[in-house]
Chain A
Amino acid sequence: MTDPQPAATSEPVDEFEREPVPPRARLGFRSFVGQYAGEHTAGTELMIGPLFVASGVGAFDLVVGLFVGNLLAVLSWTLMTAPIATRARLTLYYQLERICGRRLVTLYNLANGVMFCFLAGSMVTVSATALGVWFDFRMPGLTDLYPNSPGWVVAVFAVGALMTIVAAYGYNVVARVANIAAPWMVAVFIAFGIVGLRQLGIDSLDGFWGKAETLIWKGGDPLPGQVKFTFWHTMFFAWFCNIAMHIGMSDLTVLRYARRPWYGVATATGMYLGHWIAWIAASILYVVQLTQEPGNTSVLPGPLAYKACGLAGLICVIVAGWTTANPTIYRAGLAFQAIAPKSSRYRVTLLTGLVTTIAGMFPAIAMKLLDFVALYGMVLMPMGAVVFVDFWLSERLGFRWDYALRAGIGFNWAAGLTWLLTLAACLLLVRMGGVQIYFVSLPGWFLAALLYVTLSRLLQQKDLGPASARGVVVP
């Protein structure tokens, strides 16, 4: 998973919000390598890895499925997001505003903000499990949906309140800690895997694959309440868990600073160090727990990390959860503030943090994180298709780009209906068509693209005059 940090400095992007990034502000390749590695080493990786095991995944399905899925994610950033980002050099929000109109972007912000709140809630949940190592209270199990003890509620409230106050008043401090901690966190995640292998009785790499298939990722039935995962599940999950960022185009805001479109390959550091290795390592820790305590199916990153790497592991859980929840709460606050621009950013962030903290008390989000992440991507994906089609195909297919800007409207019905109809179709496929939520975003993207072309041709006014120059900057 990811936290939505802007480029290089990890401070909120508050410049060039309504203009292309000028050449003097563009960044080198190294900036993106470091940023993506840190951004995708989040606390939630420690939930996702174990949930794969709980889903009964086999060795080939996990290792190869995740490898291929992460490769597809890198290609999506490189071939879909970065080329538009380095030509238009605009934030997603401003680009959407030009296409969709301010009122529709407000709705998009609302959806984005709500999703960020729940995502940050799962990060608060992860950090709160670290408190369970020191304080004796009952923590949630794999099938728990609601808070199950007063101690858990108090722990989440304490962690959530602290994170919220920092997000509102001390964002930059935690952003700096995030930058500093990133390489160390990657090392600790690798350490989790190495220690876990030894605890499973694997002490050499001879015949590792055979042991992986029989000792670690044995496949078979999923644990109660989990969906059975195959190669296709892991591949699509790895590809689409950040679909909001690549195909959904959120990272236009980040990659608009890149000097060259190929800088999109920098995301490979995040996908392979942060996702591939971190998920595999976290899954090994969970297998250790299931081997040592067969009845204990709880996915609790704090105790898992502490048993493997002691205090260093516990610090990693706290730092990974905190440094990723912090910008997520901040970004959710910004999204809500865009809806009510006159409200104080501090008050909005505090209120957002309260919602996040309450969400974090419900273990349902963290324990069903695989499903939630798929839902999060599905909700934001159609607008990525709108941006892609508007940028590359509008002229060739006979409709106007940046239609809302050029027609002076606040709500582009072609884009709005595309979003709603695509979501409705995806939900219908999931509810009635028997398609699992992990797979629905791929046909959904093509449907959104088709709908936007068709509806734009039907609904756009024809008498807007000659096309003006497009706001495109040559990279």
Chain B
Amino acid sequence: MKPIARVVSWAALACTLLPPVLYFAGRIDLPAAKLWMLVATVAWFAATPVWMEHDSTDAGES
């Protein structure tokens, strides 16, 4: 579960940045960029708590 959640998180983070880049390049319009950023935001906050707490504890103990 955690590896999948981690992949979803990093994909969501990339998708937070990708729509503004596509808008900058003139590939999509601003409303579409805003919509995709919102979707990526929801995905980030849904997936990240599954693995991040565990990882930060590990980092502290390493």
Which residues from chain A sit less than 8 Å from chain B, CB to CB?
7-9, 27-28, 30-31, 34, 176, 179-181, 183-184, 187-188, 190-191, 194-195, 197-199, 203, 309-313, 315
Residues 28-57 of chain B, each 1 if its beta carbon lies under 8 Å from chain A, else 0 = 001101110110110011001100110011
In the assembled complex, the CB of B58 is this many whole angstroms from the nearest CB of chain A, namely 9
Most-contacted residue by chain A among B20, B30, B31, B33 (CB, 10 A):
B20
Using known A-B contacts A28-B59, A183-B13, A310-B35, determine if residue A195 contacts B40 with beta carbons closer than 8 Å. Answer: no
Instruction: List, in ascending order, chain A residues with CB within 8 A of B20's CB.
Output: 190-191, 194-195, 198, 309
* Minimum-distance CB pairs A-B, first 4: A310-B34, A312-B37, A194-B20, A191-B20
**C-alpha gap A191/B45 in the complex (Å):** 17
Task: For the complex, give the distance between the alpha carbons of A424 and B48 in Å.
Answer: 49
Separation of A310 and B56 alpha carbons in the complex (Å): 30
Bound Cα distance A9, B54 (Å) = 11
* Bound Cα distance A255, B36 (Å): 39
Known: A34-B56, A188-B16. 6 other contacts (CB 8 A): A176-B49, A194-B23, A309-B33, A310-B31, A311-B34, A313-B34
Given A195-B24, A195-B33: A30 touches B59 (CB 8 Å cut-off): yes
A184 & B24 in contact (Cβ 8 Å cutoff) = no
Task: Given A8-B56, A8-B60, A176-B53, verify A310-B16 contact (CB < 8 Å).
Answer: no
CA distance A8 to B61 in the complex (A): 10
Which residues of the other chain, B, contact A30 by a CB distance below 8 angstroms? 59, 62
- Assess the B41–A184 pair: CB atoms within 8 A: yes
Q: Which residues of B contact A34 (CB under 8 A)?
A: 56, 59
> How far is it, in angstroms, between the C-alpha of A294 and the C-alpha of B55 when the chains are bound?
47
Residue of B nearest to A29 (CB): B59
- Report the nearest B residue to A193, measured CB to CB: B20
- Chain B residue numbers with a CB within 8 Å of A312 are 16, 34, 37-38, 40-41
Cα distance, A311 to B34, chains bound together (Å):
7
Interface residue B17 (Cβ < 8 Å from any Cβ of A): yes
Query: Number of contact residues on B: which range applies?
Result: 20 to 34
Contact A190 B17 (CB under 8 A): yes
Closest A residue to B35 using CB positions: A310
B23 touches A195 (CB 8 A): yes
Residues of B within 8 A of A179 (CB): 52-53, 56
A184 to B12, CA, bound (A): 9
A194 touches B24 (CB 8 A): yes
- On whether A309 and B34 interact (CB within 8 A), knowing A28-B60, A30-B62, A184-B41, the answer reads yes
B7 lies within 8 A of chain A by Cβ: no
- By a CB distance below 8 angstroms, the chain B residues around A27 are 59-60
Instruction: Tell me if A184 and B13 are in contact (CB < 8 A).
Output: yes
A179–B49 CA distance with the chains assembled, in angstroms: 9
Q: B26 near A: Cβ within 8 Å?
A: yes
Cβ B13 vs Cβ A198 within 8 A: no
A32 CB to nearest B CB, Å? 10
**Residue in contact with B17 in the complex, picked from A191, A197, A315, CB distance below 8 Å:** A191
Give Cα A301 to B24, complex, Å.
21
Contact B33 A28 (CB under 8 A): no
Is residue B11 contacting chain A, with contact meaning CB distance below 8 A? Answer: no
Compute how far the CA of A190 lies from the CA of B16 in the bound complex, rounded to whole angstroms.
10
Q: Contact between A180 and B48 (Cβ–Cβ < 8 Å)?
A: yes
User: Taking the nearest CB of chain B, how far is it from the CB of A205, in angstroms?
Assistant: 10
B4 contacts A by Cβ under 8 Å: no
* A315 pairs with B41, CB closer than 8 A: yes
**Residue with the greatest number of chain A CB neighbours at <10 A, chosen from B13, B23, B26, B49:** B23
Asked if B1 CB lies within 8 Å of chain A CBs, one says: no
What residues of A have a CB within 8 angstroms of the CB of B45 in the complex?
180-181, 184
A residues in contact with B37, CB < 8 Å = 188, 191, 309-310, 312-313
What are 16 inter-chain pairs, A to B, with CB distance below 8 A? A8-B56, A9-B56, A31-B60, A180-B45, A187-B16, A188-B16, A188-B41, A190-B17, A191-B37, A195-B33, A197-B24, A198-B24, A203-B26, A310-B31, A310-B34, A313-B34
A315 to B13, CA, bound (A): 15
A184 to B49, CA, bound (A): 12
In the assembled complex, which residues on chain B have CB atoms less than 8 Å from the CB atom of A28? Answer: 59-60, 62
Is there contact, CB below 8 Å, between B13 and A187? yes
A310 to B34, CA, bound (A): 5
The reply to whether B26 and A194 contact each other, CB–CB distance below 8 Å, is no
Interface pair A310/B38, CB less than 8 Å apart = yes
Q: Closest Cβ of chain B: how far from A274's Cβ, in Å?
A: 16
* Shortest Cβ gap from B42 to chain A (Å): 9
Give complex CA distance A197, B12 in Å: 23
B52/A180 in contact, CB under 8 A = yes
